[in-house]
Structure 1
Amino acid sequence: MLPAATVQSLMRADHGDPFAVLGLQGPDEDGAWWLRALLPGAQRVWAVAAEDGRALAELQRIPGSELFEGTVVGPTERFAYRWRVDWGSAQSELDDPYRFAPLLGELDLWLLAEGTHQRPFQALGAHPVVVDGVQGVRFAVWAPNARRVSVVGEFNHWDGRRHPMRLRRECGVWELFIPAVAEGALYKFELLDAQGAVVLRADPYAFAAELRPGTASRVAAPPPAAPVSPARAAANAFDAPMSIYEVHLGSWRRADGGRWLTYRELARELVPYAAGLGFTHLELLPVHEHPFDGSWGYQPTGLYAPTSRFGSPQDFKFFVDAAHEAGLGVILDWVPGHFPTDAFALARFDGTHLFEHADPREGFHPDWNTLIYNFGRAEVSNFLIGNALYWLERFGVDGLRVDAVASMLYRDYSRAQGEWLPNRHGGRENLEAVEFLRRMNHVVGTERPGAVTIAEESTAWPGVSRPPGGDALHGLGFHYKWNMGWMHDTLSYLGRESVHRPWHHDQLRFGFMYAWNENFILPLSHDEVVHGKRSLLGRMPGDDWQRFANLRAGYGWMWAHPGKKLLFMGGEIAQEREWNFEGSLDWHLLEHGPNAARHAGVQRLVRDLNAVVRHFGALHRRDVDPCGFEWIRHHDKEHAVFAFQRRDDQGGVVVAVANFTPVVRHGWRLGVPCAGTWREVINTDLAVYGGSGVANGERVAEAVPCDGLPFSIAMDIAPLATQLWAPAP
């Protein structure tokens, strides 16, 4: 007979070791096996043999409780059994979760405790499995300071008394196998936390979640590992063309009635659209589950769960596969720097600062009112690095763009003096974050070769896209870095009236001073078309003709410039207004209104620029190599004209000429590196793009030295335009 204190502890759901008293216990000194079940609502309970259903014993209710117990005499070894339960209005047979042995193996426990389990998602979370021939779900959660953890969900009336878990003290993980739970079931973990409070938490490792405002996790089998495609790996190489279309899935296009498109609908509409425009990659704003639409996904609460806004994890995998079939890589925005304070998520998860720093000078982000991961804690670092590998391996995505890296690298980021703590050397660098990023990049590079990592890093931190070096702070191991300086300087220059541009010539030249210090991506991203910054077209000065011409010239300059390209959705149709995450892009601009032809012309130009960059190796093969670039003319401030040549490693060459004034330059002589016929392969002023039509076609290079080159072309330079020239085949 159980002691009264134990019975009451079980009924209060504050017993920390349910496997010590529930299920099959014994045998005792008399050779009797004790069977105990906690079944709220049951009227009578029998133990029956699992193999044939024969009755073994009727259990008796312990007075004043919902606990039942009985004995079986005779067996010399543990035996399999089930419960037959009379609920009053019906009967059922149940497999008892407390008859099953521990599930996590010694190696898993060791690696989880050490924080070196490269795939912790294989051990933690909710996994549909078969144990001893019984179908069910294995639940496991890291909560080392909780006094008790239970699985609650639709399958047990959200009652924390029914399924308390077993603590694996070696690593602070609680586990339980619950038979008969089906995929799709909603669940949470109910914790009696370190402070004695009963709290409900979503599963940090949940592979699916319910749609907001619901906050429960959903049982889902993780997708099987996706093999690395040689074609996809080659598309991510430094010498491959990379033109990225950045997309917020919820506002790219809406269906009738304003509803979101599903992942499968996006596979049918977004994928062929981006591929048809010649983009090589899609970059998706975060698809992690998140409660607040206005965060755009940058405040995730379900880092392992594709947001249910657009469908299931299988639907998201369908989208990725469709993109690959169309020749598009998929890059995900990834948010390992901070997380929201929502009570159902990670904040004070087990009653302690488990995932975050305890001191707000380290653990609270003042800009976003979010919490900062404790990168120095091995289990937290393991959680995040495992997540990176999860998206790359299980969904087959091709890369991760890491958000807000600068906020991770500096302890004083956006903090006044006295509001931050220095590192162990007294400096402002976050040494733990540096080590985390290096380890993450190493794991991705070794476990998923061909995938890329990209840093959104807005400072001059050295070696972001370089391997770790001798200096403890140099080299983070990313493949690429967003070139934020180029973006700010270029948009600032293009936003000036052309008459003022001669006094700001260095804004376009300066980027070439550091263009190869990192492996750069040139971003015109979502951040540049919100919060009062206006759309890209809205930033352009002048009348309608000049605004569109400036934008087209800027795109030509960007696509000619060394570095991979990224354009946020809407930029390709010259969106007039700022991006609105609650609506759709203004697709009607392509067909209606006084500037419909100009909007369509910008779209056609983007398509043609992508095609030219793909076709000419000189425009992509040496993006990260200074040997692929040489100025032809950069000092002509008076006319705001720039010219340079791009070369590849196979003898290919393209010459770019940009005129950032509305003046046509007739008979302009420009040096070129070789003789023969040259043809204009892009001219952003062509009439088909909405321009004035100042074109050249083909010109023969004459043996007239110019700009330090032995040959030259007399050309007409179009107004507010970028022109690309290549030797005729």
Structure 2
Amino acid sequence: MTNSIESLLEDLKDGCCSRPFDLLGIHDVTTGPPGSHSPGKGKVVRVWRPDALTVHLINLVSEERVGEMRQVASGLFVLGLDASSPLRCYRLEIQSKEHQSFTFIDPWQFGDHVFNPVFVEPYRSYRYMGARLVNIPAVPGPDVQGVMFRIYAPHARSVAVVGSFNGWDARLHPMQGCDDGIWRLFIPHVSTGDLYKFELRNAGGELLPHKSDPYGFYAEQPPGNASIVYDQKHYRWQDQDWRHQGQQHEPMSIYEVHLGSWRREQAFDGSSSGGFGSEGRCLTYRELANELIPYVVEQGFTHIELLPPMEHPFTGSWGYQPVGLYAPTSRFGSPDDFKALVDRCHQSGLGVILDWVPAHFPSDPHGLGRFDGTPLYEYADPRRGWHPDWQTHIYDYGKPAVRDFLISNALFWLDCFHIDGLRVDAVASMLYLDYSRSEGEWEPNVHGGNEHLEAVDFLKRLNETIYGHYPEAVTIAEESTSWPGVSKPTYENGLGFGYKWNMGWMHDSLEYMKHEPQYRRYHHGELMFSMEYHYSEHFILPLSHDEVVHGKGTLLGKMPGDDWRRFASLRAYYGFMFAHPGKKLLFMGAEIGSLTEWNHDGQLDWPLLAEKSERGNYSRGLQQLVRDLNRLYRKYPALHQSDYDTRGFCWVIGDDTEQSVYAFLRRGGSQPPILVVCNFTPEVRHHYRVGVPKVGPWYELINTDGSCYGGSGVINAGSLSTEFVEAHGYEQSLVLTLPPLAAVFLIPDY
């Protein structure tokens, strides 16, 4: 053997070979005695199988036995062939050292296919990387089925595939390193459902923890963390008639869901009331399709938004610390099962939005952290690469490979899972270099500022790419600061998001509602302030999971007073929310007035709805109100069509501080306006005059104090006629009875 071959063989033995194809497989060789002036030509087949006692080579096309291979060194078997040999593809019959017999197709004969150049569309690297099921033609024989593995690890000394198909033995399948930093290997016979990981050694040859596939489409549940081979093309979609929805002129009412705790499959606890026990398993994706989707449709929402369904090792992170960014969590089923859930949503008229986390990733050993022994995906400097609040790594947005990994992932969910949009988590933490850092703990940008310029560029590229491919999709920023232009196009120097969560509205309005009604007069402006800046962004009004965890209690618990006042206040608040410009978001359980803070290990307070009590009546009434508000919101263009047009909203009464009354008009195109009047005190206001823009009869569309909602039933029944009494800048006005702690929607006859 030459020194080169000897060196490669030593690397194979040591488990750190980076160029196995230089030695193994079919190679042309020069034959003849040493010093011959007329050397001949021939072929040699070299096979690496350290667990083999004997190896026989068989022609894959003709099934002829070519011969027994000679072991020339421990684990290395060789067979010489004439130059005229027709052998192109072969399989091996092996007698192992444990005296077991088996056959397999040798991976080292497919070098031409492994290194064939493949066009990869920008930001669609998921179509190339990871574990991909392929068929390689063994001309003139049958196709060889298997998996092409590719992994990016430019600083590794070596990479090997280990899995259920090779006994987790890294010696058997070393990968070939290339100048582009991508390691490659095709392994025949590997198929759907096989488990695998990657064994890497750093530049110094030190063995690293086994890594899951960054592009893995399917993953084990803890304590396992292997990736699972998955056929992305297997599922047959039935949503051909679906179109993305959620444009600015359309209604968008989002039901935010944590799949593991919406409802659980539980045994009855044996009580006389037939209540549920405290323990139970999570519903599967397909069970959720049968139960969650009809419920959300019945409640009138247009979309569901899922807390991150990407694979994550720690259940308590709710998905916000994902390791498998390309894999829907297998807690609830397979990727096909998740596709079935999305498919059913679309067939039922529901859009699907995913929470997506490009701001950081956890430090679990099998994840992306120091992936090839270097900070490959994260910033090396902890002032940029480590998040002090969440104890997680921060992506290095300046690296092309990292940008490609993340933007490809965003397109992956839209391409392969038909997702309608992404709500991007923790955008504020990405935008500022000093986010949650004290002086001296962060490094200014090149201009001396605190803006994270690389993250800003990444977010712009992300939105340009998504909207370039899917103009009707939506991207939503969870951004809590006053960063300008979050939802403006990038050509106007914005970040390019479709929408932004209005955290200011959420905070101010909830703070207002927390006050006892008699003190709300001193905080009157808190409900009005949002309209001072509303038109600066395309806002979504969020009442999200963040408001019902970590000791914050429930939305109902934020309302003061006894049960009647709390439920009445919450009903009035929802009425105000659905009338306020901007799209809507409610976290699950808000629609039934949950009494207990959300627990990701439990389920919602569904027994409330079954209670034959006053509280049960209130809960059922609140659920009915949310259902009716959604239907009203979707039916009347005035409530959604001009959300971001200054002509779509105007205050009628904003100065009735003493009585805590607000009145405003919503308009939408040529459709009739809707008058909304809110009374945030428990006092009934008789003979309350409100100016209106149209003469004639007006009717109540909805009144949150209706008895069907658990209210006191103070309504304005029948037709209300305008009087020619000037009020609030209009020549005519209505005289109303304002119910206590309630919102009233009225519309003129047309």
- TM bucket by the smaller chain? over 0.9
> Using the alignment, how far apart are the partners of 1:23 and 1:704 within structure 2?
95
Which one-letter code corresponds to 2:11 in the other structure?
A: S
Residue 14 of structure 2: which of 8, 12, 15 is its match?
12
Residue 283 of structure 1: which of 305, 319, 322 is its match?
305
Please state whether the residue corresponding to 2:535 is helix, strand or coil.
coil
Q: Deviations over 1:558-616 (max 9, x none)?
A: 00000000000000000011100000111001112540000000000000000100111
> Using the alignment, how far apart are the partners of 2:117 and 2:643 within structure 1?
44
Q: Does 1:25 align with 2:27?
A: yes
Other-structure match for 2:199: 190
Residue 639 of structure 2: which of 619, 641, 644 is its match?
619
> Using the alignment, how far apart are the partners of 1:404 and 1:270 within structure 2?
27
Other-structure match for 1:129: 134
Which one-letter code corresponds to 2:505 in the other structure?
A: W
C-alpha contact (below 8 Å) 1:125/1:141 kept by paired residues: yes
> Using the alignment, how far apart are the partners of 1:524 and 1:157 within structure 2?
50
Which one-letter code corresponds to 1:196 in the other structure?
A: G
Are residues 654 and 136 of structure 1, via their aligned partners in 2, closer, same or farther at CA, if it must alter by over 3 Å?
A: same
Other-structure match for 1:549: 568
> Using the alignment, how far apart are the partners of 1:196 and 1:652 within structure 2?
74
C-alpha contact (below 8 Å) 1:261/1:310 kept by paired residues: yes
Other-structure match for 1:269: 291
Other-structure match for 2:655: 635
Residue 394 of structure 2: which of 372, 375, 387 is its match?
372
Shift of 1:230: 7.1
> Using the alignment, how far apart are the partners of 1:493 and 1:254 within structure 2?
34
Unpaired runs of at least 5, structure 1: none
Other-structure match for 1:645: 665
Shift of 1:282: 0.2
Shift of 1:229: 6.3
Q: Does 1:680 align with 2:691?
A: no
> Using the alignment, how far apart are the partners of 1:549 and 1:664 within structure 2?
13
Other-structure match for 1:460: 482
Residue 120 of structure 1: which of 115, 118, 125 is its match?
125
Residue 348 of structure 2: which of 326, 333, 357 is its match?
326
Residue 58 of structure 1: which of 50, 53, 68 is its match?
68
Other-structure match for 1:303: 325
C-alpha contact (below 8 Å) 2:59/2:87 kept by paired residues: no
Q: Does 1:479 align with 2:498?
A: yes
Q: Deviations over 1:176-201 (max 9, x none)?
A: 11000010111001111224221211
Other-structure match for 2:155: 145
Which one-letter code corresponds to 1:719 in the other structure?
A: P
The within-5 A match list for 1:318-397 is 318-397=340-419
Are residues 370 and 103 of structure 1, via their aligned partners in 2, closer, same or farther at CA, if it must alter by over 3 Å?
A: farther
Are residues 58 and 147 of structure 1, via their aligned partners in 2, closer, same or farther at CA, if it must alter by over 3 Å?
A: same
> Using the alignment, how far apart are the partners of 1:682 and 1:196 within structure 2?
71
Please state whether the residue corresponding to 1:156 is helix, strand or coil.
coil
Are residues 102 and 143 of structure 1, via their aligned partners in 2, closer, same or farther at CA, if it must alter by over 3 Å?
A: farther
Other-structure match for 2:749: 728
C-alpha contact (below 8 Å) 1:103/1:175 kept by paired residues: no
Please state whether the residue corresponding to 1:446 is helix, strand or coil.
helix
> Using the alignment, how far apart are the partners of 1:226 and 1:259 within structure 2?
28
Which one-letter code corresponds to 2:193 in the other structure?
A: G
> Using the alignment, how far apart are the partners of 1:464 and 1:241 within structure 2?
21
Other-structure match for 2:272: none
> Using the alignment, how far apart are the partners of 2:715 and 2:452 within structure 1?
54
> Using the alignment, how far apart are the partners of 2:634 and 2:356 within structure 1?
27
The within-5 A match list for 1:438-587 is 438-469=460-491, 474-587=493-606
Range 75-84 or range 392-401, more displaced: 75-84
> Using the alignment, how far apart are the partners of 1:407 and 1:158 within structure 2?
39
Are residues 44 and 412 of structure 1, via their aligned partners in 2, closer, same or farther at CA, if it must alter by over 3 Å?
A: same
Q: Give the alignment's Cα RMSD to 1 decimal.
A: 1.7
The within-5 A match list for 1:189-228 is 189-199=198-208, 200-223=210-233
TM-score relative to the length of structure 2: 0.93
Shift of 1:166: 1.4
Q: Does 1:232 align with 2:243?
A: yes
TM-score relative to the length of structure 1: 0.96
Please state whether the residue corresponding to 1:554 is helix, strand or coil.
helix
> Using the alignment, how far apart are the partners of 1:28 and 1:287 within structure 2?
57
Are residues 99 and 72 of structure 1, via their aligned partners in 2, closer, same or farther at CA, if it must alter by over 3 Å?
A: same
Which one-letter code corresponds to 2:158 in the other structure?
A: R
Shift of 1:70: 2.1
> Using the alignment, how far apart are the partners of 1:156 and 1:398 within structure 2?
39
Please state whether the residue corresponding to 1:514 is helix, strand or coil.
helix
Other-structure match for 2:271: none
> Using the alignment, how far apart are the partners of 2:688 and 2:114 within structure 1?
75
C-alpha contact (below 8 Å) 1:522/1:565 kept by paired residues: yes
Please state whether the residue corresponding to 1:528 is helix, strand or coil.
helix
Which one-letter code corresponds to 1:519 in the other structure?
A: H
Other-structure match for 1:249: 259
Shift of 1:5: 4.2
C-alpha contact (below 8 Å) 1:227/1:396 kept by paired residues: no
Other-structure match for 2:722: 701
> Using the alignment, how far apart are the partners of 1:389 and 1:118 within structure 2?
8
Shift of 1:492: 0.3
Unpaired runs of at least 5, structure 2: 32-39, 138-142, 267-278
Are residues 600 and 82 of structure 1, via their aligned partners in 2, closer, same or farther at CA, if it must alter by over 3 Å?
A: same
Please state whether the residue corresponding to 1:84 is helix, strand or coil.
strand
Please state whether the residue corresponding to 1:652 is helix, strand or coil.
strand
C-alpha contact (below 8 Å) 1:674/1:710 kept by paired residues: no
C-alpha contact (below 8 Å) 2:683/2:741 kept by paired residues: yes
C-alpha contact (below 8 Å) 1:225/1:395 kept by paired residues: no
Shift of 1:74: 3.8
Other-structure match for 1:602: 622
> Using the alignment, how far apart are the partners of 1:457 and 1:537 within structure 2?
25
- Aligned residues, how many? 718
> Using the alignment, how far apart are the partners of 1:102 and 1:574 within structure 2?
63
Shift of 1:686: 0.7
Q: Deviations over 1:206-265 (max 9, x none)?
A: 0000112211100002247979967533x2111111100000000000112511100000
Shift of 1:710: 1.9
> Using the alignment, how far apart are the partners of 1:418 and 1:194 within structure 2?
32
C-alpha contact (below 8 Å) 2:55/2:92 kept by paired residues: yes
Which one-letter code corresponds to 2:302 in the other structure?
A: T
Shift of 1:203: 0.4
Identity among equivalent pairs (%): 51
C-alpha contact (below 8 Å) 2:30/2:41 kept by paired residues: yes
Please state whether the residue corresponding to 2:466 is helix, strand or coil.
helix
Residue 717 of structure 1: which of 722, 730, 738 is its match?
738
Please state whether the residue corresponding to 1:444 is helix, strand or coil.
helix
Range 589-598 or range 331-340, more displaced: 589-598
> Using the alignment, how far apart are the partners of 1:562 and 1:605 within structure 2?
19
Other-structure match for 1:412: 434
Please state whether the residue corresponding to 1:412 is helix, strand or coil.
coil
Residue 95 of structure 2: which of 59, 72, 86 is its match?
86
Which one-letter code corresponds to 1:44 in the other structure?
A: T
Which one-letter code corresponds to 1:85 in the other structure?
A: I
Shift of 1:406: 0.2
C-alpha contact (below 8 Å) 2:114/2:186 kept by paired residues: no
> Using the alignment, how far apart are the partners of 1:496 and 1:396 within structure 2?
44
Q: Deviations over 1:382-426 (max 9, x none)?
A: 000000000011110100000000000000000001101111111
Are residues 265 and 348 of structure 1, via their aligned partners in 2, closer, same or farther at CA, if it must alter by over 3 Å?
A: same
